[in-house]
Amino acid sequence: MKDIVLTGDRPTGPLHIGHYVGSLKKRVEIQEEYDKPFIMIADTQALTDNAHNPKKVSENVYEVAFDYLAVGLKPELNTFFIQSLVPELAEFTVFYMNFVTLARLKRNPTVKDEMQQKGFGYNVPVGFLNYPISQVADITAFKANLVPVGDDQLPMLEQTNEVVRHINNHFNTAVLRECKPLLSKVLRLPGTDGLSKMGKSMNNAIFLNDEPDVISAKVMSMYTDPNHIRVEDPGNVEINTVFKYLDAFDPEQEELKELKEHYKRGGLGDVKLKKRLNNILQNTLEPIRQRRKEYEENPEEVMKLLKTGSEYARSVAAKTLKELKEVFTLNY
Amino acid sequence: MKDIVLTGDRPTGPLHIGHYVGSLKKRVEIQEEYDKPFIMIADTQALTDNAHNPKKVSENVYEVAFDYLAVGLKPELNTFFIQSLVPELAEFTVFYMNFVTLARLKRNPTVKDEMQQKGFGYNVPVGFLNYPISQVADITAFKANLVPVGDDQLPMLEQTNEVVRHINNHFNTAVLRECKPLLSKVLRLPGTDGLSKMGKSMNNAIFLNDEPDVISAKVMSMYTDPNHIRVEDPGNVEINTVFKYLDAFDPEQEELKELKEHYKRGGLGDVKLKKRLNNILQNTLEPIRQRRKEYEENPEEVMKLLKTGSEYARSVAAKTLKELKEVFTLNY
């Protein structure tokens, strides 16, 4: 069976350069390599912790789609779809819930972390606790065997393969397909404030649709080495966020090495570095922003494209669901 | 808005006379009174604790349908449907899971009891723990406001109305409808062994499709008053299971009163009582068994009927789902 790739994003905000270096760039590379990767805008999953503000989710479906197209993901090379437009996924989820215990769900380390971050405890919405099962549905419905993920998502693939093996073994079938991570050396950008994660709510993100002056302002206020007070002081490359961004974006990596040595010795000012980064980011984001604007002017066209993709995704999921229902003898 | 009734059964075995006096008889009475009550064969729900043996569920879909038709529920007066043939219910379930906390689910007294009976503890399948939310879906999808239930199901209606009010209030809408129990003086038949509940696994049930000799044998071995050794001894009516069945089935309730007095005084033998009950049950079950046999010979016809009902049920659920998705702004 051919390789099938599934990726996606929760539509809770426009995408930022952290997403770009972390996953979007990679997706652009592989769109020629694999046959029409499935790219899911996970609105249903986003609702698991945004249920009281669904508009935030539905509006950002567009934003995420604009970003996809803007970075160069091509509709003819990928299957973009909206999760809630593939209702078969809810059916898979409801079936799979019978094969996973509460204890197992609660052991999921990623969900555990997220529950702690959100301060949920026992008051966690069942839907949120359950989202790894919903991911089992997403992956297996399309028989995806390759899932580009970061380390934090590996527990989801483990959960998926547990359900797959359990059902395949118990019913002596091969209807469900195991998956594995499509790992790549992912660069994780910290936020502009130097904190670990870039995020909208942290106010430390550079978005793909930021205007040039916004980008400049964000770059010029970036966190560097707080002990690097005067230009002539030696600086610490490791904690200087600007260098982390240059690692990810600078096309002249040899020159960058020299700059790092210079910074360590002293005599290289942060402003100079920031100007360099600003230039590079402006060059990178300029064509993305332009393409994005074109799509923003035609939201109906973009939705049409998502609907076409969703219809195709639906036909694939429906086929797998039919097979699974036959295994369960529910094919009335 | 007109009254809408929803009832149903989990297809895990053929129905017995406990179901008959507990709910089926009432349904036959109300089928003329309300506009096409929805009668759901809850296969998806039955899977929540039968996931590893789905054949038991799918086979019993037929048995339950035969029983419905046999007791006189008419296809033209009711909407019979199979739960899994209305996939919108899974979509509702997935949405509602975001509005119910794990703590709330675990507080459900009926689920608590059932979890204890089944010895689940933390190893409860998520689907089982979650079935009250799936019931919220079943009830609200059809805008049912009247749900004939026993006391043990009242917590499900409470849970339903909690979700309904929560969503209606938060989104300032009236899209979901509250429900109330359609209570009737329900006679609860104990098993033939005098234990509290009649059930297939308990081997203490008289099924609607039992043959005459099977019925006789079960009646003749029924639990009576263990202290009523000789005919002339005074007997205890309260603990004599035969009297409980006569309460439910005897058409001559005045005569029954006299028999009870006689039994209390002494001089009335259990065998005589059992023969009376056997006659009555034979008369009651004979036409049911005959009608059932006719349907058993045409399972395809019965399935056709269930599919027609399911299609109609689906159209109703789809309409409500569309309304709910509009409220959630997920109407792309």
Q: Specify the CATH number for the domain of residue B110.
A: 3.40.50.620
At residue A187, does pLDDT exceed 80? Answer: no
- Do A214 and A125 share a structural domain? no
Q: Which residue of B has its CA nearest to A84?
A: B330
Which residue from B44, B54, B101 is facing A124, i.e. has the nearest CB? Answer: B101
- Residue B30 inside a domain? The answer is yes
Any idea what the CATH number is for the domain that residue A287 is in? 1.10.240.10
| Judgement on whether residues A14 and A141 belong to the same structural domain of the protein | yes
Which of B124, B330, B332 is facing A54, going by the closest CB pair?
Answer: B330
Question: A332 and B61 in contact by Cβ < 8 A?
Answer: yes
Q: A201 falls in which pLDDT band (50, 70, 90)? A: confident
Whether A197 is covered by a domain: the verdict is no
pLDDT tens string, chain B, 332 residues long: the values are 899 999 999 999 999 999 999 899 999 999 999 999 999 999 999 999 999 999 999 999 999 999 999 999 999 999 999 999 999 999 999 999 999 999 999 999 999 999 998 888 889 999 999 999 999 999 999 999 999 988 888 999 999 999 999 999 999 999 999 999 997 766 788 999 998 788 877 889 999 999 999 999 999 999 999 999 999 999 999 999 999 999 999 999 999 999 999 999 999 999 999 999 999 999 999 999 999 999 999 999 999 999 999 999 999 999 999 999 999 999 99
pLDDT above 80: residue A200:
no
Question: What distance in Å separates residue A114's CA from the closest CA in chain B?
Answer: 15
Please tell me which of the candidates B49, B57, B98 has its beta carbon nearest to residue A51: B98
Question: Do B98 and A47 lie within an 8 Å CB cutoff?
Answer: yes
CA distance B250 to B160: 37
A256 and A168 in one domain? no
Q: Say yes or no: A216 and A102 in one domain.
A: no
- Domain contains B247: yes
B70 and B155 fall within a common domain: yes
B193 inside domain: no
pLDDT surpassing 70 at residue A58: yes
Quote the DSSP letter at residue B194: S
Pick from B111, B38, B124: which is nearest to B73 by CA?
Answer: B38
**Cβ separation B52–A97 shorter than 8 A:** no
Tokens of A277: 């980064």
Which residue range is the domain that position B281 belongs to? 210-293
- The mean pLDDT value of chain A amounts to 95
Question: CA of B122: which chain A residue's CA is closest?
Answer: A103
Same-domain pairing of A36 and A161: yes
Q: Are residues B112 and B246 in the same domain?
A: no
Looking at the domain assignment, is residue B308 inside a domain? yes
**Which pLDDT band holds residue A186 (cuts at 50, 70, 90)?**
low
**Claim to verify: residue A251 and residue A162 sit in the same structural domain:** no
In a mutational test of the A interface, the residue from B55, B56, B99, B101 whose CB has the highest number of chain A CBs within 10 Å is B101
Query: A88 contacts in B (CB within 8 Å)?
Result: 87
A194 occurs within a structural domain: no
Are residue B57 and residue B79 in the same domain, yes or no?
yes
Question: What does the pLDDT look like over A106-129, one tens digit per residue?
Answer: 999 999 999 998 888 889 999 999
- The ipTM assigned to this model is 0.94
Contact A181, A168 (CB under 8 A): no
In this structure, the number of other CB atoms found within 10 A of the CB of residue A311 comes to: 13
Say if the Cβ atoms of A123 and B101 lie within 8 Å: yes
Query: What angle in degrees, to the nearest 10, is found between the helix axes of A270-296 and A241-249?
Result: 50
Kindly state whether residues A63 and A156 are assigned to the same domain. yes
pLDDT of amino acid B186:
64
Which residue among A61, A124, A330 sits closest to B102, beta carbon to beta carbon?
A124
pLDDT at B121: 83
Q: Answer whether A43 sits within 8 Å of B330, measured CB to CB.
A: yes
Taking CB atoms and an 8 Å limit, are B105 and A93 in contact across chains? no
Note whether A90 contacts B94, CB cutoff 8 Å: yes
Q: How many domains does chain A have?
A: 2
Q: Do residues A180 and A216 both lie within one domain? A: no
DSSP-assigned beta bridge partners for residue A152: none
Q: What is the per-residue pLDDT for B196?
A: 77
Distance from CA of A26 to the nearest CA of B (A): 29
CA distance A6 to A29: 14
Tell me if A198 is assigned to some domain: no
Spatial contact of B239 and B269, defined as CB atoms under 8 Å apart = no
Smallest Cβ–Cβ distance between A103 and the set B98, B99, B123 belongs to B123
Q: What is the pLDDT of residues A123-151, one digit of tens each?
A: 999 999 999 999 999 999 999 999 998 88
For residue A149, the model assigns a pLDDT of: 85
Neighbours of A27 (CB within 10 A): 21
List the single residue in B with minimal CA-CA distance to A94.
Answer: B90
B11 located within any domain: yes
Q: Are residues A305 and A288 in the same domain?
A: no
Tell me what pLDDT residue A106 has.
93
Q: What is the pLDDT of residue B131?
A: 96
